[in-house]
Structure 1
Amino acid sequence: MQHRYEWLYLYGFVHPKTGDTEWHILPRVNVDWFNISLAEFARSVGAGQEKIIVLVIDRAGWHTSEKVVIPQGIYLEPLPPYSPELQPAERLWTLADEPLVNEHFDSLDQLEQALSKRCCVLSEMKSEISALTNYHWWPFVSTG
């Protein structure tokens, strides 16, 4: 018997102070797909010369590659190595996974539908997400 798996990947962005989230369901985790996700995120939040966004990232190869195309207005701030507990977005995954645990999906389409519904719910859970991700010790400066 040969086991075969199909995968979907959830990219998540969070603004810890407000609890705003943005989700991208993509077929791969690599530099090319990270570039697509970054570009879409920058477009959706209006990053640019007038609006600067600092993204805290881990040191995954697809985050730190020289091939990463950083959109105008986006600045990547890598965490120290081996410190996922410092990444606010890491706390999102248990919330995102909740409706998927112990479930079976016959196709990637079914999984994507369930995940899409969950992302819509999470997008409305701003206060809960802020409470989970807005570390009291995290320096936060807002210009409005």
Structure 2
Amino acid sequence: MAGIAVTRKDLSVDQLRAAAARTSDARAARRMLAIALVVEGVERKAAAESCGMDRQTLRDWVHRYNAEGLSGLSNRKPPGRRPWLTPAQKAELAALVERGPDPERDGVVRWRRKDLKRRIEEMFGVVMQERTVGAQLAELGFVRLSVRPRHPKADEAAQEAFQKNFVDRVAAAIPPAARGKPIEIWFQDEARVGQQGTLTKVWAKRGSRPRGLRDRRYKWAYIFGAVCPARAAIAALVLPKANAEALSLHLAEIGSQVEPGAHAILVLDGAGWHIADDLRIPDNLTLLHLPPYAPELNPVENVWEYLRKNKLAITVFDGYPDILDKCCQAWNFFANDKTAVASITARKWAEVNL
């Protein structure tokens, strides 16, 4: 230890010992006590051994204390492994994922980890395993999600304008006889259910190929469903066809579920039977049509997805009566859960208080 002395004079021996008593870091406390002994004049070897270290280790901590003070006596967190990508590279990767692949250039219509592994190597010269690519995506906030269908003729500007101006559209649609009445917002749609059924995701062992029943015959029925999100109210019929006559029956059912004295604005798409001249519309209903090719604006579409995933997928129907029974059971499964009705169908842009 010759030539290595404690050169800092900002803390006395008593202050060093007091600092050792206060700290919760036992290793730093031992180092403070050893340096206090050195300052006090104790022989270096004895000071080191009394605090559980050798002379060379104490010499190193004296260097740190002289340079940094008490803060230098605590262990520093190891720097860890160098990140795979810099922040700028991560931002570029996130933009690439959100933009999606170019089928002509990348040869795929959706990103797989193996494709991104190749692109990361091309862009940044970084070679990583597919599992590491997945970890990078998770760190950036990406998860695997089912895509929502979008019609190629969909007009996003029209859809945005419909949502933005929805309150004004409702106000303009209210007939003179309903002015001053409470207004309810309902949504309506139909779903075909039956043979030629659907499959859904299930829990299964990694790497396995689970099998599920799927009917391949050609009988079906239609669920006509309508929901008032604000009241979690519902109205539904199961009918053999989707046409103006069937919709008229459903409109009558919806009208019977509107609160007495209120008027309902029924939002629905522009299917042919929704705009037919021979529709019979109850006096307490007014129809408001969605923009063309905009199913994502109708929350009843989410109801169909919910029912198919939970009640109607992986099913073989014995015949038409069985289809009717299963449709009714599925709708009642949804309708009897008022929390699900509200959470699945509520839309902020459709909350109207007129």
Q: Same fold (TM over 0.5)?
A: yes
Aligned to 1:32: 245
Q: In the TM superposition, what is the alpha-carbon distance from 1:44 to its structure 2 partner?
A: 3.7
Q: In the alignment, residue 28 of structure 1 is paired with which amino acid?
A: K
Q: In the alignment, residue 18 of structure 1 is paired with which amino acid?
A: R
Aligned to 2:272: 61
Residue from 241, 252, 255 that aligns with 1:42: 255
Aligned to 2:328: 116
Q: In the TM superposition, what is the alpha-carbon distance from 1:141 to its structure 2 partner?
A: 2.2
- In 1: Cα distance, 2:291 partner to 2:269 partner: 8
Would you say 1:78 and 2:289 are equivalent positions?
yes
- In 1: Cα distance, 2:345 partner to 2:253 partner: 22
Give the match's secondary structure for 2:326.
Answer: helix
Q: In the TM superposition, what is the alpha-carbon distance from 1:100 to its structure 2 partner?
A: 1.6
Q: In the TM superposition, what is the alpha-carbon distance from 1:104 to its structure 2 partner?
A: 0.4
* Residues 61-110 of structure 1: CA deviation (Å, up to 9, x unaligned): 11111121211110001011111111121111012223121110111111
Q: In the alignment, residue 58 of structure 1 is paired with which amino acid?
A: D
Aligned to 1:22: 235
Residue from 272, 281, 301 that aligns with 1:90: 301
Give the match's secondary structure for 1:93.
Answer: helix
Give the match's secondary structure for 1:137.
Answer: helix
- In 1: Cα distance, 2:223 partner to 2:307 partner: 9
1:96–1:115 contact (8 Å) kept in structure 2: no
Rate the CA distance shift 1:92–1:43 in 2: closer, same or farther, 3 A: same
Q: TM-score, normalised by structure 1?
A: 0.86
1:26–1:33 contact (8 Å) kept in structure 2: yes
* Structure 2 unaligned regions, length at least 5: 1-215
1:58–1:79 contact (8 Å) kept in structure 2: yes
Aligned to 2:19: none
Higher helix share: 2
- In 2: Cα distance, 1:16 partner to 1:59 partner: 21
Give the match's secondary structure for 2:348.
Answer: coil
Segments ≥4 residues shifted beyond 6 Å: none
Instruction: Report percent identity of matched pairs.
Output: 29
Structure having greater relative contact order (Cα 8 Å, sep ≥ 6): 1
Q: TM-score, normalised by structure 2?
A: 0.37
1:18–1:127 contact (8 Å) kept in structure 2: no
Paired residues, number: 138
Give the match's secondary structure for 2:301.
Answer: helix
Q: In the alignment, residue 268 of structure 2 is paired with which amino acid?
A: I
* Structure 1 unaligned regions, length at least 5: none
Aligned to 2:85: none
Aligned to 2:351: 139
Q: In the TM superposition, what is the alpha-carbon distance from 1:4 to its structure 2 partner?
A: 6.1
1:18–1:126 contact (8 Å) kept in structure 2: no
Higher strand share: 1
Rate the CA distance shift 1:17–1:43 in 2: closer, same or farther, 3 A: closer
Give the match's secondary structure for 1:69.
Answer: coil
Larger mean CA deviation between 13-22 and 37-46 belongs to 37-46
Structure with the greater alpha carbon radius of gyration: 2
Q: In the alignment, residue 21 of structure 1 is paired with which amino acid?
A: I
Larger mean CA deviation between 86-95 and 69-78 belongs to 86-95
